[in-house]
């Protein structure tokens, strides 16, 4: 009898990292939720959205990062970033996990966070605190729902060669970061996707509540940031 395909929901599969994750999980039954299908910046959309499937895997990649001085942020910008990067997701996650628990299924959750979940940097306050929040979600869900066979882990990239990175950093800054990274490079989206795939392996059953850092070693070199 053929093995049933896993049902995997990916929030944010249209970005560079999301695309690589989707490609590496192409044998799964993929359900994509991108900004066209669901605008996470408006929390009402999350509250009203009806998710009918019972997933085996949930992957959250969606995020926006618009560097700006804290004192220059307006209220709409604060709501947009925090809704997109955190609040809308936990509303949707609760809906999904209620279905998972009712069906007595196991489920794996992977959140793409960031080194900014541990470190701060000028003009990155909203992005940073939203990633801090995801890390808190990781640890608490692991404790609360672990007995039900639900695991959750965070994969925290360092500087990844994505369109967002190229938009927020100029060539000189990227060159500097490469020079301060032990592996002498910024990492690839594929590097993140490979770790996600590994964590979703059926034989990986004892890792939960953890933050897996994939950054080329920059955070342990005492040289993080610009």
Q: What sign does the CA torsion over 131, 137, 143, 149 have?
A: negative
H or E segment to which residue 150 belongs: strand 150-157
Q: Beta partners for 113?
A: none
Structure letter (DSSP) for residue 149: T
Neighbours of 64 (CB within 10 A): 18
Residue of 23, 116, 127, 159 with catalytic role = 127
Active site residue 116: no
Contact 154, 99 (CB under 8 A): no
Neighbours of 182 (CB within 10 A): 12
H or E segment to which residue 31 belongs: strand 29-33
Distances (CA, A) of 210 to 55, 126, 142, 156, 185: 21, 22, 9, 10, 25
Q: Please spell the DSSP secondary structure of 93-155, one letter per residue.
A: HHHHHHHHHHTT--EEEEEE--GGGT---TT-HHHHHHHHHHHHHHHHHHHHHGGGTEEEEEE
Q: Give me the active site residues, please.
A: 127
């Amino acid at each position: 009898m053929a093995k049933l395909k896993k049902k995997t929901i990916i929030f944010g599969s249209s970005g560079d990292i999301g695309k690589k994750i989707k490609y590496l999980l192409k044998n799964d039954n993929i359900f994509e939720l991108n900004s066209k299908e669901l605008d996470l910046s408006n929390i009402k959309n999350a509250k009203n959205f009806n998710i009918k499937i019972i997933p085996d895997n949930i992957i959250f990649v969606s995020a926006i990062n618009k560097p700006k001085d804290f004192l220059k942020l307006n209220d709409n910008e604060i709501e947009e970033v925090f809704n997109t990067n955190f609040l809308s997701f936990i509303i949707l996650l609760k809906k999904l996990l209620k279905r998972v628990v009712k069906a007595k299924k196991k489920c794996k959750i992977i959140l793409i966070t960031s080194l900014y979940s541990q470190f701060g940097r000028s003009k990155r306050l909203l992005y940073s605190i939203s990633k801090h929040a995801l890390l808190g979600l990781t640890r608490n869900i692991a404790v609360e729902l672990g007995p039900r066979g639900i695991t959750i882990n965070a994969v925290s990239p360092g500087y990844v060669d994505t369109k967002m990175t190229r938009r927020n950093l100029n060539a000189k800054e990227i060159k500097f970061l490469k020079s301060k990274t032990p592996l002498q490079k910024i990492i690839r989206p594929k590097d993140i996707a490979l770790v996600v795939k590994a964590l979703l392996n059926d034989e990986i059953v004892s890792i939960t509540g953890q933050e897996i850092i994939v950054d080329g070693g920059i955070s342990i070199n005492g040289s993080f940031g610009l």
